[in-house]
Amino acid sequence: MTTETATIEQLEAAIKAHEKREEDLIAKYGPGTKYNRTIKKGSLDWDAEAKKFHVTIECEDCGTPVKVYTSDLFQKGKCEEHAKEARAARRKGKAKVNDNISLTEAKAQLAALKAKLEG
Ligand SMILES: [Zn+2]
């Protein structure tokens, strides 16, 4: 649909469809849902290059407006900076304890280290 060939009716229908799509997204991802995204009203638009819809949400940590493809709404709720922080925190939390050592050996090494520390 290009501007040259679209009729008033078609354009009005397209605008209505945008509004409806946005309402549906807010119902699915907005406040009170498990995603709890703050979707800015009237921000839904079509990205002709990416061929995807996007909306503007507020970062759940700092409130910065963030452009998000609607297909990413389920997994993206933060600005770049806070998404990076959250990823780093997740990695840290998952840091694996190496238990691939014999218990006797671990206890012996621990006792030796402690003895060293205590001088
Ligand atoms: Zn943020």
CA–centroid distance, residue 64 to ligand 1 (Å) = 6
CA–centroid distance, residue 115 to ligand 1 (Å) = 46
pLDDT (0 to 100) of residue 92: 83
pLDDT (0 to 100) of residue 2: 53
Is the per-residue pLDDT at 93 higher than 90? no
Mean pLDDT, the chain, rounded, equals 92
User: What's the predicted TM-score (pTM) here?
Assistant: 0.71
Which has more confidence, 86 or 98?
86
Q: What are phi and psi of 38, to 5 degrees?
A: -95, 95
CA–centroid distance, residue 86 to ligand 1 (Å) = 10
Question: How far is Cα 73 from Cα 119, in angstroms, rounded to an integer?
Answer: 56
Question: How far is Cα 28 from Cα 36, in angstroms, rounded to an integer?
Answer: 9
The first and second tokens of residue 10, run together, are 């078609």
